[in-house]
Amino acid sequence: MNPEELIRKIEGLKRERNAVILAHSYQVGEVQDIADFVGDSLGLSREAARTDADVIVFAGVNFMAETAAILNPSKTVLIPDIEAGCSLSDTVTAKDVLQWRESHPDGLVVSYVNTTAEVKALSDICVTSANAVKVVRTLDPDRDILFLPDMFLGEYVKEQTGRTMDIWMGECHVHAGIGEKELKEKLDNFPDAEFLIHPECGCGSSCLYLKPDAKVFSTEGMVTYAQRSTTKEFVVATEVGIIHRLNKKTEGKHFIPVKDTAICEYMKMITSEKILRSLESNTFVVEIDDKIASRARRAIDAMLAVA
Ligand code: 13P
Ligand code: SF4
C-alpha cells in the first residue's frame, strides 16, 4: 500500500471509530506525522485524561498505553504492537515495592511513569521527567522516600531538591549509554552549541560539571526551550526520535544528537502499518485489572494535581 493510501485509510477509520492517535516524541517520523498529539510522558498523560475520543491508539510503549487505559477505564486503548516494552520499567516489580514498604511502613513511594500498572498501584505518587523535581518538593519532609526506578533521574531530583531518598538502581539501556565519553566528544566538536540533556541519561547528573550551563529537560521541555532560545545550534542527549520533532517545531536551527545510536528499539516497533492494523482489527486492547487500575489512578491523579 502506498503511503497516501495508508494515511487515507487511517484517517477514515479514525473518523469511523472516533479514535485519536497519541504518539511519543521517540516515535519514527511518519508515526509522529499521522498522530493527533505528540508529546512527552506528562503531555500524553494529560491528553489521555482529557480526550473525548472513544478509542485511543497509543503510539508509544506499554507503560504509556497502560497509563492511558488507567485514566480512561470506559475507553478502548490500543497499542499497535504488544511487544513494545521498556527496559527501565522492567527493572522493578510489585514485589520489590512491597519489600521496601515492609521496612518503611510510613514511607512514600514515588514512581516514574516508566513503571507497570502493578508498581503504580503500590505507589503514592507518580512523576515524569518534566515534573519530578516539582512533585518531590511537595512531599512531607518527615517521611522516607523510595524513588524508582531510574537512578539517574533519582540522583538529579535528589540534587535539585536536597531530599534524602532511597533510589532504585534501575536504568534505561538507551539513556544509560549516553555518558561522559559521548558528552566530552560533542563538547569538543560543538563548543558554541547549547546542550539539552534528558535526566535519564548517564551524563544527566554526574557529568554536568563538564557543561554546567547544560539544560536538563524532558523531551517536551527540549522542544519548548529550543523554540524560545535564540541559539541556532543544539546538542541533544536523548533518544534520536526527538530530532524529528525538534526540526518540525523550529525553524533555521540545527540539532545534533549526542549519540546517533541512541535508539529505543521498543519505540521503533510502532509503524503506520501497525497503526492501521490496530484500528482495523482492534489490536491490541490494553486491559488492566479494575482494582489495580483504580489504585494506580490515585498515584497518577496525585501527580496531575501537582503538575
Ligand atoms: P519524556 O517524558 O521526557 O518524554 O521521557 C520519557 C521516556 O524516556 C520514555 O521513554
Ligand atoms: Fe524505556 Fe528507555 Fe525506551 Fe524510554 S527510551 S521506552 S525509558 S527503554
Q: Where do the CATH 3.40.50.10800 domains begin and end in the chain?
A: 3-85+267-287, 89-171+294-306, 174-257
Other Cβ atoms within 10 Å of 151 Cβ, number: 21
* Phi, psi dihedrals of residue 85, rounded to the nearest 5°: -100, -155
The pLDDT assigned to 208 comes to 83
Give the integer Cα–Cα distance in Å for 117 and 293: 7
With both helix axes pointing from N to C terminus, report the angle between 219-228 and 242-249 in degrees, rounded to the nearest 10.
Answer: 30
pLDDT, tens digit (0-9, with 9 covering 90-100), for 218-273: 999 999 999 999 999 999 999 999 999 999 999 999 999 999 999 999 999 999 99
First-to-last CA distance in the chain? 43
> From the CB of 129, is ligand 1 less than 6 Å away?
yes
How far apart, in Å, are the Cα atoms of 135 and each of 77, 112, 146, 206, 287?
27, 11, 13, 22, 28
Closest ligand to C-alpha of residue 266 is 2
Across residues 130-148, what is the average pLDDT? Answer: 97
> From the CB of 150, is ligand 1 less than 6 Å away?
no
pLDDT, tens digit (0-9, with 9 covering 90-100), for 38-47: 999 989 999 9
Torsion over CA of 236, 264, 112 and 224, rounded to 10 degrees? 30
> From the CB of 219, is ligand 1 less than 6 Å away?
yes
- The string over 56-82, giving b where at least 16 C-beta atoms fall within 10 Å of a residue's C-beta and e elsewhere, is bbbbbbbbbbbbbbbbbeebbbbbbbe
Ligand 2 midpoint to CA 207 (Å):
21
Q: Which atom of ligand 2 is nearest to the CA of 150?
A: 7
Per 3-state DSSP, what percentage of the chain is helix, strand, and coil (rounded to 5)? 45, 15, 40
How does residue 130 score in pLDDT terms, banded at 50, 70 and 90?
A: very high
Q: Which atom of ligand 1 is nearest to the CA of 43?
A: 2
Q: Which residue would you say has higher pLDDT here, 207 or 27?
A: 27
Name the grid cell of 246: 525538534
Fold category of 3-85+267-287 in CATH:
Rossmann fold (3.40.50)
Across residues 141-162, what is the average pLDDT? Answer: 97
Instruction: Tell me which amino acid residue 94 is.
Output: A
Across residues 111-118, what is the average pLDDT? Answer: 97
The pLDDT assigned to 280 comes to 98
Task: Answer yes or no: are the C-beta atoms of 186 and 214 closer than 8 Å.
Answer: no
Do the bridges between strand 108-112 and strand 76-78 make them parallel or antiparallel, or are there none, so unpaired?
A: unpaired
> From the CB of 174, is ligand 2 less than 6 Å away?
yes
Average pLDDT, the chain: 96
Across residues 127-152, what is the average pLDDT? Answer: 97
Give the integer Cα–Cα distance in Å for 98 and 53: 36
How does residue 1 score in pLDDT terms, banded at 50, 70 and 90?
A: confident
Q: Which residue would you say has higher pLDDT here, 176 or 205?
A: 176
CATH assignment of 174-257, among 3.40.50.10800, 3.20.20.300, 1.10.3210.10, 3.10.20.340: 3.40.50.10800
> From the CB of 87, is ligand 2 less than 6 Å away?
yes
> From the CB of 41, is ligand 1 less than 6 Å away?
yes
> From the CB of 218, is ligand 1 less than 6 Å away?
yes
Residue 97 pLDDT > 80: yes
Residue with cell 528499539: 265
Ligand 1 midpoint to CA 4 (Å):
30
Q: Which of 113, 91, 60, 30 is nearest to 301 (CA)?
A: 113
Residue with cell 505507589: 123
Question: Which of 41, 127, 246 gets mutated to test ligand 1 (max ligand atoms within 8 A of its CB)?
Answer: 41
Across residues 99-115, what is the average pLDDT? Answer: 97
> From the CB of 40, is ligand 1 less than 6 Å away?
yes
Residue 31 pLDDT > 80: yes
Domain covering 89-171+294-306 in this structure, CATH number: 3.40.50.10800
Question: Which of 86, 111, 171 gets mutated to test ligand 2 (max ligand atoms within 8 A of its CB)?
Answer: 86
Residue with cell 534501575: 170
Task: Answer yes or no: are the C-beta atoms of 147 and 154 closer than 8 Å.
Answer: yes
Give the integer Cα–Cα distance in Å for 91 and 199: 17
The pLDDT assigned to 207 comes to 81
Ligand 1 midpoint to CA 102 (Å):
30
The pLDDT assigned to 168 comes to 98
How does residue 155 score in pLDDT terms, banded at 50, 70 and 90?
A: very high
How far apart, in Å, are the Cα atoms of 282 and each of 15, 31, 58, 78, 91?
15, 18, 12, 7, 30
- The string over 198-219, giving b where at least 16 C-beta atoms fall within 10 Å of a residue's C-beta and e elsewhere, is bbbbbbbbebbeebeebebbbb
DSSP 139: S
Name the grid cell of 104: 518503611
Residue 281 pLDDT > 90: yes
Residue nearest to atom 3 of ligand 2 (CA): 264
Distance of CA 54 to the CA centre of its chain: 23
Ligand 1 midpoint to CA 41 (Å):
6
Across residues 91-103, what is the average pLDDT? Answer: 98
